[in-house]
Amino acid sequence: MKKPRILVFASGTPEGGGSGFQELFRASEIGELNAKIVGVVSNHKDGGVRRRAKALKVPFRHFPGPWDAKGYEWLAKDSHADFFALSGWLKKVEGLDPKTKFNSQTVFDINPGPLPAFGGPGMYGHHVHEAVMQAYQLGELTHSEVCMHFVTGEYDRGPVFFRIREKIRPDDTPETLGARVNKLEHAYQSAITKMVVSGQITWDGIHPESLVVPEGVSR
């Protein structure tokens, strides 16, 4: 049977990043993820994602913007991918179209904080962990989360199909909390991605109540 093809979107930074993309590739190479990583996209031309892609011999695409429907549609079509994994991608996705393979059933994201409260524009990386720690200090929550969700036209508002909680410690800082959350991302991203591309996790792309997730996936 032909393996599903995945195009990864990962912003990274000019200095580094792309560890989530690397974990997905590693899992595909050793058979933990029964899929082929056909390429990786970054908005940084010479950043950490490109360096990892070069080392892993994965095709790299620089997507400098504008991040509009035309750009996304071209990348999706050119890659011949079946699924699109956002792993540290910081730009809003446009151009989702149910008549093409690039749609709300095939595009999914991973977030380093509880959704929907800690999602949306500007909520990424250390910004999320800082906001979570502020909420913890105000007594508004006791745990952070790693979440994975399908992508819709509303930023970080698609149906969440995976959550795993991380207890916040009294002596935590955004940095210490972020380090543990990042480990959880790496530990679970490939396994949950496998469930998406194998059809174990699905929805109709329109109605959140249509979401199908195997029992016991979230913790």
pLDDT beneath 70, residues of the chain:
none
Domain ranges in the chain are: 5-112+147-164+189-203
**Global confidence as pTM:** 0.96
Give the per-residue pLDDT at 212: 97
Give the per-residue pLDDT at 219: 72
| pLDDT tens by residue, 27-39 | 999 999 999 999 9
- Output helix, strand, coil percentages for the chain, rounded to the nearest 5: 35, 20, 45
Give the per-residue pLDDT at 218: 84
- Are 129 and 174 a contacting pair, CB within 8 Å? yes
Question: Can you tell me the distance from the alpha carbon of 13 to that of 88, in angstroms, rounded to the nearest whole number?
Answer: 10
Give the per-residue pLDDT at 77: 97
As a CATH number, domain 5-112+147-164+189-203 is 3.40.50.170
Task: Burial-class residue 193 by CB neighbours within 10 Å (0-12, 13-18, 19+).
Answer: buried
Contacts of 154 (CB under 8 A, 6+ apart): none
How many CA atoms within 13 Å lie on the side-chain side of 94? Answer: 9
Question: Can you tell me the distance from the alpha carbon of 128 to that of 144, in angstroms, rounded to the nearest whole number?
Answer: 10
Give the per-residue pLDDT at 1: 73
Give the per-residue pLDDT at 46: 94
